[in-house]
């Protein structure tokens, strides 16, 4: 397997593991109604949440490197757009990890001081930069797989990656849980479902990259 692909898999697994550990022991917080940023600020193992953010940023950069430098799924004019978008998404996560949440609600923000408002503004900006850049990145990733990869099963997976981009947006921003009869403040579920879709798209791409790199390795070994 390509070493860069192996690093990508390691980061994808570590991102989930550290996020899970960071949620442990926070009995006063309810993940159903509490955003990840609050866990990164107030949970007993908050540093694991921060670590997960940094690992996720690294994962995006690794996938970007696979596309633009390793050219694991071929090359097209769209390939050159990947680097700035992955950089933007990673930068958003770096901002999120550095500027921690200072107010959980608008009401709390209204009573905060100047510095708290300023930090929260950077935090919110980081979230928006990360999320919307990631949506564009995942959509573009799926499109590149569809266009460049020859294997039909990989093209179908490319369609799935592409569709996970708008799905992530809908899961994050719409009250879809009401369709299942769930009421109340469910922003925690919305956020985690949206982010899981992005993570799943990255994992599917790594699966495609693994398969391609393994086939390329076998071809090199057979060559005289």
- Find where tokens 């369709």 sit: 179
Q: Is 71 part of a structural domain of the chain?
A: yes
Residue 221 has pLDDT above 50, yes or no: no
88 Cβ partners below 8 Å, 6+ apart?
129, 133
Question: Which residue in 116, 6, 133 sits closest to 57, CA to CA?
Answer: 133
- pLDDT bucket at 223, cuts 50 / 70 / 90: very low
**Contact in structure between 175 and 184 (CB atoms under 8 Å):** no
Residue 25 has pLDDT above 70, yes or no: yes
Which domain covers residue 136, as residue numbers?
Answer: 3-212
**Structurally, how many domains does the chain consist of?**
1
CATH number of the domain that residue 68 is part of: 1.20.1070
For the chain, report the end-to-end CA distance as a whole number of angstroms: 20
Give backbone dihedrals phi and psi of 197, rounded to 5 degrees, phi first. Answer: -60, -40
Residue 216 has pLDDT above 80, yes or no: no
Residue 7 has pLDDT above 80, yes or no: yes
Q: What CA–CA distance (Å, rounded) separates 133 from 93?
A: 11
- pLDDT bucket at 186, cuts 50 / 70 / 90: confident
Q: Is 223 part of a structural domain of the chain?
A: no
Of all residues in the chain, the percent with pLDDT exceeding 90 is 58
| Residue 82 Cα to chain centre, angstroms | 15
Q: Is 190 part of a structural domain of the chain?
A: yes
What single-letter DSSP state applies at residue 23? Answer: T
Residue 224 has pLDDT above 90, yes or no: no
**Mean pLDDT value of segment 28-37:** 87
Q: How much is the pLDDT for 106? A: 66
Residue 4 has pLDDT above 50, yes or no: yes
Q: Is 53 part of a structural domain of the chain?
A: yes
User: How many other C-beta atoms lie within 10 A of the C-beta of residue 14?
Assistant: 16
- pLDDT bucket at 108, cuts 50 / 70 / 90: low
**Contact in structure between 73 and 145 (CB atoms under 8 Å):** yes
Q: What's the whole-number average pLDDT of the chain?
A: 88
Q: Residues 111-161: pLDDT tens digits?
A: 677 778 888 889 889 999 999 999 999 999 999 999 999 899 999 999 999
Of all residues in the chain, the percent with pLDDT exceeding 70 is 91
Q: Residues 48-107: pLDDT tens digits?
A: 999 999 999 999 999 999 999 888 888 888 888 898 999 999 999 999 989 888 776 666
Q: Is 142 part of a structural domain of the chain?
A: yes
Residue 109 has pLDDT above 70, yes or no: no
Q: How much is the pLDDT for 179? A: 86
């Amino acid at each position: 397997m390509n070493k860069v692909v192996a690093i990508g898999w390691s980061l994808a697994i570590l991102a989930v593991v550290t996020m899970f550990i960071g949620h442990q022991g926070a009995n006063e917080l309810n993940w159903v109604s509490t955003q990840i940023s609050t866990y990164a600020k107030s949970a007993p193992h908050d540093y694991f949440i921060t670590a997960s953010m940094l690992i996720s940023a690294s994962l995006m950069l690794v996938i970007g490197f696979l596309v633009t430098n390793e050219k694991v799924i071929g090359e097209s004019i769209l390939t050159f757009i990947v680097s700035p978008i992955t950089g933007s998404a990673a930068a958003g996560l770096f901002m999120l990890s550095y500027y921690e949440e200072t107010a959980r609600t608008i009401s709390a923000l209204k009573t905060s001081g100047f510095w708290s408002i300023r930090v929260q503004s950077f935090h919110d900006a980081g979230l928006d930069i990360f999320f919307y850049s990631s949506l564009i990145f995942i959509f573009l990733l799926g499109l590149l797989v569809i266009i460049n990869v020859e294997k039909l099963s990989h093209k179908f997976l490319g369609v799935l990656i592409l569709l996970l981009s708008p799905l992530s947006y809908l899961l994050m921003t719409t009250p879809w849980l009401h369709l299942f009869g769930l009421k109340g403040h469910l922003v925690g579920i919305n956020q985690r479902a949206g982010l899981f879709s992005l993570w799943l798209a990255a994992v599917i791409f790594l699966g495609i990259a693994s398969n391609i790199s393994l086939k390329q390795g076998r071809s090199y070994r057979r060559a005289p």
